[in-house]
Structure 1
Amino acid sequence: MQTTPLMLIPLAHVDADEATSVFHDFAEEWERRRLNTFVRHCDRRRYAHAHGAMRLALSQVLRRPTADVTLRRTRTGKPYLRGGPAFSLSYVDGDAWLAIGLEDALGLDVVDLGPAEGELDELVAPQAEKHAVALVMPSLARPDVVVWAAKEAAAKLADRVEVAPEDWRVRFTHCLEVSADGVPAARVDIVRMDAALVAAIARPLQPGDAATSGTQVAS
């Protein structure tokens, strides 16, 4: 199987002033309404920076001026570009990460494997699902958290964030496969980015898919 090219971009590296300026100049009306729902200034600043930085990254990939990057959204509020490329945004510890690929859709969830208060409930991360994750990436300190991330990534891919985590199923076939009733199965790649951060990247499952971690992390 040939892996579809994918970029994984840390938006924290994008200049805050430039990104925020881009947001205020070019944000869609629905983005401005969303910004106004945040009570805390730090949350408003984080949202404006992430969406401005996302526009800058997409404009580079599309080779278009930032003003020409028109974001649309689905019924659940998921942003997308008509005609692609596919992209997905994830927040972790106040920072934002952006995945950009060539598929019709993708889903990203980034998690921190650092210290936490106990393991996730068995209902959310059953032992069999943690074992499936371990087959893809052995010796993970928190396979339960990665199970959660795989389900979140699949939910973003399918735009089915209303499906509860316990209703998703994670198993290993030729790759890590995540599905739920009435939702097409997703293939999820797990990528370790550093000692603490792990990304789960969901893409449509194709015949013959095999586990891979061929991801480009942009600086």
Structure 2
Amino acid sequence: MMLVAGKPFLTVDETDVWFESLQAEEAEYRQYWSWLSESERQTAQRFVRELHRRRYAVCHGKVRLLLGHYLGIAPQAVCFGRQTLGKPFLLDASGGPHALRFNLSHSGDWMLLAAGPRELGVDIEVWDPRHDPESLAGEILAPNELEYWLTLSPAERAAAFYRFWTRKESLAKAVGSGIGIGVASIETTPGSLAKFLGLPKDCGKPSDWHLIDLDFGAGISGAMSRRRRLQSTVTESA
């Protein structure tokens, strides 16, 4: 069996964040494919492009590998359920919800998986030149965020846009509502200090959530939202 290699990109309290490539050699790809459920294989087969099919198989194979590592079971034995709006969760041996929470995001050749004991959500976005922040900012940003964003130079706006976007998406995924929550109603601090300032009423208070920006280097943005606890210890792999 393939073993988990390396360490999490980030650990916050009891929550691990894994930043993984979706590129794989043929032997690795076949191994990941062998771990998929029949439903996952059917989903993969529906992709028209081979690139997207391979990314899906590697992504979900790695999810099974990593979650199986936490659960102490084989990747193919990991079982999932889904909430009403589609957010997946782990099932325990009795078929009920498992205490371990997780969330997955992927973009381009990269995936992000967080796992821990508290409700959480993650988002990763590879900057896409087909997306025009100038035309999307008014729909996605809260008024104060937009005011700040308009003060930035054109060269600074892409990074700020994706920073705001991944923060909002991570919260929407944490509560299991997706972008239907109305991302413009989620307000965060401008600049690099990540904190929620305002949330839709169904999401609780801003102080209920710990927001973390994830730095993957130029051209990739990410964020994690997780239920807050009183003290946090953060470590990052070298």
TM-score, length-scaled by structure 1: 0.74
The Cα of 1:195 is off from its aligned counterpart by 3.4
Is residue 97 of structure 1 aligned with residue 116 of structure 2? no
Partner of 1:135: none
What is the percent sequence identity of the aligned residues?
23
- Equivalent residue for 1:146, pick from 163, 179, 200: 163
Q: Tell me if 1:129 matches 2:138.
A: no
- CA contact 2:141–2:184 (8 Å) conserved in 1: no
Contact kept in structure 2, 1:129 and 1:169, CA below 8 Å: no
Of the three residues 28, 33, 41, the one matched with 2:50 is 41
Query: Structure 1 residues 52 and 19 mapped into 2: Cα distance closer, same or farther (>3 Å)?
Result: farther
Name which of 77, 94, 98 aligns with 2:86: 77
Asked if 2 retains the 8 angstrom alpha-carbon contact of 1:21 and 1:52, the reply is no
Asked whether the 8 Å contact 1:9–1:217 carries over to 2, the reply is no
Q: Helix, strand or coil for the counterpart of 1:39? A: coil
Q: TM-score, normalised by structure 2?
A: 0.69
SS of 1:7 mapped into structure 2? strand
Aligned CA distance change for structure 1 residues 194 and 114 (closer, same or farther; 3 Å): farther
Q: Of 181, 197, 202, which aligns to 2:225?
A: 202
Find the partner of 1:111 among 125, 133, 139: 125
Say if 1:17 and 1:85 are closer, same or farther in 2 by CA, change over 3 A: farther
What are the ranges of 5 or more consecutive residues in structure 2 without an aligned counterpart?
Answer: 1-11, 92-97, 150-155
1:38/1:84 Cα in 2 relative to 1: closer, same or farther (>3 Å)? farther
1:25 equivalenced with 2:34 (yes/no): yes
**Which ranges in structure 1 are unaligned for 5 or more consecutive residues?**
133-138
Aligned to 1:136: none
Contact 1:191/1:200, CA 8 A, preserved across alignment: yes
Describe the SS at the equivalent of 1:35. Answer: helix
SS at match of 1:148: helix
> Could you tell me which of 188, 192, 200 is aligned with 2:215?
192
The Cα offsets for residues 76-109 of structure 1, whole Å up to 9 and x where unpaired, read as: 3332213142221111223222222222x21110
**More helix per residue:** 2
Q: CA deviation at 1:154?
A: 0.9
Determine the C-alpha separation between the residues in 1 that align with 2:81 and 2:31. 17
Q: Give the count of matched residue pairs.
A: 205
Are the equivalent residues in 1 in contact too, given 2:133–2:161 (CA < 8 A)?
no
Report which stretch shifted further, 183-192 or 54-63: 183-192
Contact 1:89 1:99 in 2 (8 A): yes
Structure 2 contact 120–226 (Cα < 8 Å) conserved: yes
Alpha-carbon distance in 2 for matches of 1:93, 1:175: 24
Letter aligned with residue 87 of structure 1: F
The alpha-carbon distance between structure 1 residues 19 and 60, as it changes in their structure 2 partners (threshold 3 A), is farther
